[in-house]
Amino acid sequence: MDSHQENSFWKNNVKMVPGRPSPTKDFNRSTTVKAKNNTNSNSTTSFEKYQKSVSDAWTLSEDELTKEYCILTDDPKAPRRPNQNNARVHKNPIAVVHRQVSTSSTFINTTNSATTSTANHNIEKFASENNENQQEPQKPEPRKPTSEYGRLRQRFNSYPGRPQLLNVTSLSMRDDAESKLEKFSAILEAELLNLKALKELSWQGVPRKMRAVTWRLLSGYLPTSLERRNSVLERKRIDYQALVKQYFHVDVRDESQQDTFRQIHIDVPRMNPHVPLFQQQLVQEMFERILFIWAIRHPASGYVQGINDLVTPFFIVFLQEQIGASKDLETYRLEELSEEQRNIIEADSFWCISKFLDCIQDNYIFAQLGIQEKVNQLKELIQRIDLTLHKHLQSHGIDYLQFSFRWMNNLLTRELPLYCTIRLWDTYLAESDGFAVFQLYVCAAFLLHWREQLLQERDFQGLMLLLQNLPTHNWLDSHISLLVAEAFRLKFTYADAPKHFEVKSS
């Protein structure tokens, strides 16, 4: 009996299950008859109950969908986070809803045409609202976007009736940059600078607009007192011009000074030979004065090849402060600046490089013993971190001094594009205990970054060619951020534990 009732139930209702084909041969005729009979019948079928329970899903207006899932605001500072509950349910909720509307409307047409008409009416209404200024929707007249947000907004409106999730990646980046500028402004404009907070904020990179003043402060060139900064700057710049007259514009120089100037005069034109800016005579003369005066004032080390490369980042940052971000630095003609502006760039570069080199002056004394010690430390560190890579280099006759001496001597300025060097120096200057120790771990992270390529090389020549010409020409600021983050991890792991992970010889 139960079996008979069960079979009877499914037999009577089998034709009403959505999506299941009719067992009759004439499907179209059966469907038409059933629809007509159901319309005149007073009894309510199971499908009609289902339809009523979910009818609001088909009549949900596009405006409601848009408010729920999309970002439709002209305020670029408005929150751009999608509904978290919906995000967990669907990866692309708008696409899912539209698929439901489009697939279901075909089926509903046979039973309830009014529902489909309502949905179509709402879609057409949303389309007309988005295109009220367009007479021909098929050929919308393009607008001239006034901003990046405007271009994205225009792209959104070019699809009438089809809400799109607005791509806010670039807008988020802009908001992050603006937020960072506000944080820097708050610190720099304080009556008494919080140097620790400035270092912490600068470690992850300094905005271009704030870089010049931030570098002056991090170098110790400017005082923390806001009231005294202008007077100190003015006095220091006058002092530098006095040094130029005292040491550079002289009639007679002793033999050692002549040798120093001769070497500087040879090295300066070799800096960045492919960049037109550094081939200008005015620029080369400024570098010669900076380097010569520094060498005379630091007789313990004097001038050493490679120091000229360390002036470049300061020079570029202070030059950019004078000319603005809209000019092309590589081709900019320095004679377009006034003499006063050029003197400011030169004086600030001199005082900042002087403060900067005080931390690593041991690298440039007789025989450069400081660098040799750091090269040995790098060798020991790589042996502890990656024994496989270390043995690979050793087995092919690679001496760490052959490639890492230049890394230590030039602080990776020869290995990285100039803009990447400037970003790296944001972190160097922000290091609380000086960057001399941190530089070792940056070099270790830099070497480990090329691990896979190095292990693929099977001879001395291939390894040396790679190590001396590492492919960093396409690097961006993001690569430097990853590099310093890895260096920080290595320092945190190994710096305070000399025996930590030490390789025990068998």
pLDDT value, residue 501: 52
Contact 384, 441 (CB under 8 A): no
Supply the DSSP symbol for 192.
Answer: B
Q: What is the pLDDT of residue 55?
A: 52
pTM of the model: 0.66
- The sign one gets for the Cα dihedral 388, 389, 390, 391 is positive
Given a contact cutoff of 8 angstroms between Cβ atoms, the answer to whether 309 and 319 are in contact is: no
Segment holding 316, helix H or strand E: helix 307-323
What are the structure tokens assigned to 352, written together? 């900042």
Rg (CA), the chain: 35
Within 10 angstroms of residue 403's Cβ, the number of other Cβ atoms is 20
User: CA 369, CA 302: separation in Å to the nearest integer?
Assistant: 15
Residue type at position 427: T
Which pair of tokens denotes residue 459? Answer: 């001879």
> CB of 419 within 8 A of CB of 473?
no
Q: Is the dihedral of CA 365, 366, 367, 370 positive or negative?
A: negative
With residue 499 as reference, give the H or E element that holds it: none
Give the pLDDT confidence score for residue 496 in this predicted structure.
Answer: 75
Structure tokens at 411: 């602080």
> Residue 415: which of 306, 264, 287 has the closest Cα?
306
Token output for 70? 């999309």
Domains and CATH numbers, the chain: 22-157 (no CATH), 190-358 (no CATH), 366-494 (1.10.472.80)
Distance separating alpha carbons of residues 371 and 381, to the nearest angstrom: 15
CA 290, 292, 298, 304 dihedral sign is positive
What local confidence, expressed as pLDDT, does residue 234 receive? 96
Model pLDDT, residue 495:
83
HEC string for 326-381: CCCCCCCCHHHCCHHHHHHHHHHHHHHHHHHHHCCHHHHCHHHHHHHHHHHHHHHH
* CA 171/CA 356 separation, integer angstroms: 36
User: What one-character-per-residue DSSP string does 213-249 give?
Assistant: HHHHHHTTSS-SBGGGHHHHHHHHHHHHHHHIIIIIS
Whether 212 contacts 318, CB under 8 Å:
yes
pLDDT at 27: 46
**pLDDT reported for residue 498:** 62
Is the Cα dihedral 495, 497, 501, 504 positive or negative? positive
The pair of three-digit structure tokens given for residue 54, joined into one six-digit string: 């979910």
Residue identified by tokens 């944080």 is 183
- From the CB of residue 482, how many other CB atoms can be counted at a distance below 10 Å? 13
In order along its 506 residues, the chain shows pLDDT tens digits of 455 554 545 544 545 555 555 544 444 444 444 444 444 444 455 666 655 655 554 444 444 444 444 444 444 444 444 444 444 444 444 444 444 444 444 443 444 444 444 444 544 444 444 444 444 445 445 444 444 444 444 444 443 433 333 333 344 456 668 889 999 999 999 999 999 999 999 999 999 999 999 999 999 999 999 999 999 999 999 999 999 999 998 877 888 889 999 999 999 999 888 889 999 999 999 999 999 999 999 998 899 989 999 999 999 999 999 998 888 888 999 999 999 999 999 999 999 999 999 888 888 887 888 899 999 999 999 999 999 999 999 999 999 999 999 999 999 999 999 999 999 999 999 996 778 899 999 999 999 999 999 999 999 999 999 999 999 999 999 999 999 999 999 999 998 776 655 555 44
